[in-house]
Structure 1
Amino acid sequence: MTCTSTIFPIFINFLLLLSQIEGKKTQFVTCGSVIKLFNTDYKVRLHSHDVKYGSGSGQQSVTGTEVQEDVNSHWVIKAATGKICSRGEPIGCGSVIRLEHVSTKKNLHSHHFPSPLSSNQEISAYGDNSGEGDTGDHWTVICKGDSWLRDDSIMLKHMDTDVYLSVTGRSYGRPINGQLEVVGVTSPSSSHWQAAEGLFIHPSDFQVKSHSYAHTEL
């Protein structure tokens, strides 16, 4: 185990502790925030890890886990490839985003490969050089109103293939024993997600001209 892999979970947990102490309530999910996504249908968090699929694309696997504290369930919200969103800017309903897995720097991805357990569409983590991938990393945020609210249930629709990010309820064996299969489906079944724990970035109420200060919170 490297020093970096040991320090990183401690650093994340330290930031989460600070966010509890100094955090300030914001109602929006925003660009640059580091969040966990909770599937409200199966009660699992979107998860990835340095374990590759043994079939399909052979890319890094994406699953659902019931373990709330797992640091490998953190994702940072980014703009689409070649686009820029300001840190703290609310994510609008209908926006196209990327979700970068914090631990491995790969993006939530999909493509026309069958998933391992149910033969739905495979969901993987893909990309190199700190999250540089392709258009298969683009997801449309489907929500009510103008912006993604933290308490709202949303859906994520894959831009290239028009599938919804979903969970089947089927569980894997070793080496990811008990974790649930995450897939893409053509109809929005078990496709409801909510922002759970995380570091929510938002501008300060005390803005000076065009400059803003970012707070974090749990």
Structure 2
Amino acid sequence: MESVVIALTVLLCVVPRALEAAGNAPQVTCGTLVKLQHVKTGVRLHSHEVTYGSGSGQQSVTGNAGSDDVNSYWSVSGPKEANSSPCKRGEPIKCNGKIRLRHSTTNRHLHSHHFQSPLSNNQEVSAYGDKEHSDTGDNWQVVCSGKVWRKDTKVQLKHVDTDKYLYVQGATFGHPIAGQFEVSAFGSSSPDTHWKAMEGVFIKPTKK
């Protein structure tokens, strides 16, 4: 009996991983609540009620090394575009499709614009607006291979208005967010612009 339980436990651990490796990992859909991990550094995309002391003065966006911080959750929704229909809950996010990411605890959207970032002098990435207020600076294109965005697969987030990629290189802040990494937008694709969807609540894709 003990050997059967051990075998079943191993099966339950191995099969989901095998399915994910075979292209059956959970899809990222509209309404998904997710943490995004920077592939090269391992930090999670993060925000908090701390504003930049330069540039736009908007809410700062950083990379946090901790995996269990509630301030690293982002909600996936459709883009802010004129005459576009809302992204329906459970609608799969297609590769090269456009999205917005709304910070779960402050309700501000991942945003970029023509301000310099404070450490690297790249383009600043901030958190902006709220549930009711958003603009095209909140739109990001999901650059990935395959048909849809899936958990644990590499993607790049390209800012639609400025054609720059969400980027982390390694510069870190001092007080009051000591040790957190600068997140900025960079003009070209590189190993520093790759991300993965990791922990989260993945909404089951709706059937057409």
TM-score range, shorter chain: 0.7 to 0.9
> Per-residue deviation at 1:90?
1.1
Q: Are 1:51 and 2:50 an aligned pair?
A: yes
- In structure 1, C-alpha distance between the alignment counterparts of 2:199 and 2:119, rounded to whole Å: 28
- In structure 1, C-alpha distance between the alignment counterparts of 2:116 and 2:25, rounded to whole Å: 39
CA root-mean-square deviation: 1.5
- Comparing 85-94 with 54-63, which one deviates more in the overlay? 85-94
- Partner of residue 99, structure 1: 101
**Higher-strand-fraction structure:** 1
Whichever of the two has the greater Rg, that structure is 2
- In structure 1, C-alpha distance between the alignment counterparts of 2:108 and 2:132, rounded to whole Å: 5
- Matched residue SS, 1:81: coil
Q: Which runs of 4+ in 1 moved over 6 A?
A: none
Q: Are 1:113 and 2:115 an aligned pair?
A: yes
1:103-145 CA distance string (max 9 Å, x none): 00000000000000010000000003x2521100000000001
> Per-residue deviation at 1:168?
2.1
TM-score norm. by structure 2 comes to: 0.83
- In structure 1, C-alpha distance between the alignment counterparts of 2:48 and 2:109, rounded to whole Å: 12
- In structure 2, C-alpha distance between the alignment counterparts of 1:201 and 1:54, rounded to whole Å: 37
Question: Which amino acid is 2:145 matched to?
Answer: K
- In structure 2, C-alpha distance between the alignment counterparts of 1:108 and 1:151, rounded to whole Å: 20
- Superposed counterparts of 1:21-32, under 5 Å: 27-32=26-31
Unmatched 5+ residue regions in structure 1? 1-24, 211-218
- Partner of residue 179, structure 2: 178
- Matched residue SS, 1:72: helix
- Partner of residue 132, structure 1: 133
Unmatched 5+ residue regions in structure 2? 1-23
The answer as to whether partners of 2:25 and 2:150 remain within 8 angstroms in 1 is no
The alignment-based identity, stated in percent, is 54
- In structure 2, C-alpha distance between the alignment counterparts of 1:203 and 1:195, rounded to whole Å: 16
The answer as to whether partners of 1:78 and 1:98 remain within 8 angstroms in 2 is yes
The answer as to whether partners of 2:27 and 2:205 remain within 8 angstroms in 1 is no
The answer as to whether partners of 1:26 and 1:202 remain within 8 angstroms in 2 is no
- Partner of residue 89, structure 1: 91
> Per-residue deviation at 1:203?
4.3
- Matched residue SS, 1:176: coil
- Matched residue SS, 1:136: helix
- In structure 2, C-alpha distance between the alignment counterparts of 1:66 and 1:52, rounded to whole Å: 19
TM-score norm. by structure 1 comes to: 0.80
- In structure 2, C-alpha distance between the alignment counterparts of 1:156 and 1:37, rounded to whole Å: 11
- Superposed counterparts of 1:154-169, under 5 Å: 154-169=155-170
1:136-182 CA distance string (max 9 Å, x none): 00000000011111121000000000000010200000000000000
> Per-residue deviation at 1:92?
0.2
The answer as to whether partners of 2:25 and 2:152 remain within 8 angstroms in 1 is no
